[in-house]
A and B are shown apart, each in its own frame.
Chain A
Amino acid sequence: MQLTNRKKVIEQKPMTFAERIYFPAIVKGLRITLRHFFKKIPTIKYPEEIRPYSKNFRGQHSLKRDEEGRERCTACGLCALSCPAEAITMTAAERKKGEEHLYREEKYASVYEINMLRCIFCGLCEEACPKEAIYLDGPHVTADYLRKDFIYGKDKLVEPTFDITKLKS
């Protein structure tokens, strides 16, 4: 019984003369490849040319600073908790006297690491964060040779300090 109409009976006909001398088929093939020869090439030459990203492209994470240049993260661990890939680990520390210009909250992350090999760029950490401290707004995570080099610490994640007074001048 036939359940679908996708069945195709293949008949093996002997080749016709035109098929046997190959030439018509060869000419046809040559025409196809020649057409491709003059086609526009869709390749994007990556390092020189970067293709436009969508506005909500999720790339490498960055840990944000507030308008005074202090780190926003308070090491609450909600991002790590929400992460389905368990890519985030952190160590919390208490802010000391005289460090108010470095950290916004009394508690901060002294170590904050994301394992980029585990991360699936789902963006749940970004959603979970109550302090708006983490965003996936960076570029691609680049290739590297060793696994350990994919564990990004604060040196790679925290935004560079941004001096607003210099921008105005």
Chain B
Amino acid sequence: MEWSFVIEKLILVFIIFVVTLLIAMYSTLAERKIAGFMQDRYGPDRAGLFGILQPLCDGGKFFFKEEIIPAGAHKALFILGPTIAIITACISSAVIPWGQELQIGDRTISLQVADVNVGILYMFGVIALGVYGIMLGGWASNNKFSLMGAIRAASQSISYEIAMGLSIIALLMVTQSLSLKEIVAQQSGFVNWNIWAQPLGFIIFMVCAFAECNRVPFDLPECETELVGGYHTEYSSMKLGLYMFSEYINMFVSSALMASLYFGGYNFPFMNDLGLSANMITILGVVVFFIKILLFIFFFMWVRWTLPRFRYDQLMNLGWKMLIPLAIANIVLTGVFTLIKDTYFS
């Protein structure tokens, strides 16, 4: 391994890290702005122009709040909880291909941090780890409400991970590859996007992504409004901030994942017919990819300010009795279609 390669990757990691944090920061503002607009009001607009400085003020406020660790809490685990949450949220974006190759001089720079050939499995592993952050935090608080919130969160995540995995299996049957780079590269242009081949799979995946990110209508782990908060009841100051932050980062990463699995990632219509240079296509592709991600984030928020929360039994019913059978049916259907296509139309 050469030094330039390491440096190149480090720069890329740094840029992605900063961009992720920026997007997560401004998601908090966007969330409140969108909530405002959907409820016919402005949302925060006092800090800076249009409230641009609001996230900074919130962050600053979090740092100055008193740091409370409950007397009965398990101190190490109490601190470990939010740490795990934020670390897993940050490292899950490592396998996402942000763009094609960039040609600088005679160097080709791949805009993906790690081209793991089982990229999707890596994603799932990391996302599954995220629930430990919540679980540990809830348990270490030594508070029965936190513990209950954590259990709610854990069982929800586990239930929806199954349906999510099953919906991905159908997708993998179409793409024949586990590498995210490969999957995105296959979807060049517009008609090759996986959403056309897997509409049902996409819907299942999206519903599960909502549940995994603990977003409304599946935000039972938090329940700000009626159930004492959930797993982060005992958290204060920046530790609470980290939990919230990791939620927004998760939202960003799952938007990126949805965009790259089903909506062609950095591909955009007519990308090869416009006669642009390769670098230009790459840069445009990155821009397009981010537009797609932002649209998904907007969708997440749009849903949040539209729907009420599920009851817990409804949540479980939906997960186990609707999504899992649907996902299995989707796999079977995909198999049948692939078989028909391969025998008669190839």
A interface with B by C-beta (< 8 Å):
21, 26, 29-30, 32-34, 36-37, 39, 41-43, 45
Contacts and interface: CB of A to CB of B under 8 A. Distances in A.
Contacts of B45: 45
A33 B303 CA distance: 9
Interface residues of B, number: 14
B17 interface: no
Contacts of A33: 38, 302, 305-306
Main SS at interface, chain B: loop
Contacts of B305: 33
A24 to B, nearest CB: 13
Main SS at interface, chain A: helix
A29 B42 CA distance: 21
Contacts of B42: 41, 43, 45
B323 to A, nearest CB: 11
A21 B321 CA distance: 11
B40 interface: yes
Contacts of A29: 306-307
B199 to A, nearest CB: 12
Given A34-B38, A41-B40, A43-B41, 13 more contacts: A21-B322, A29-B307, A33-B306, A36-B38, A36-B39, A36-B40, A37-B34, A37-B37, A41-B42, A42-B40, A43-B42, A45-B42, A45-B45
A41 B37 contact: yes
B40 A26 contact: no
Interface of B: 34, 37-42, 45, 302-303, 305-307, 322
A41 B41 contact: yes
A163 B45 CA distance: 41
Contacts of B40: 36, 39, 41-43
B307 A26 contact: yes
Contacts of A39: 40
A26 B207 CA distance: 12
B41 A30 contact: no
A32 B302 CA distance: 11
A104 to B, nearest CB: 46
Contacts of B307: 26, 29
B206 to A, nearest CB: 12
Contacts of B302: 30, 33-34, 37
Nearest to B303: A30
Contacts of A41: 37, 40-42
Nearest to A20: B322
B319 to A, nearest CB: 13
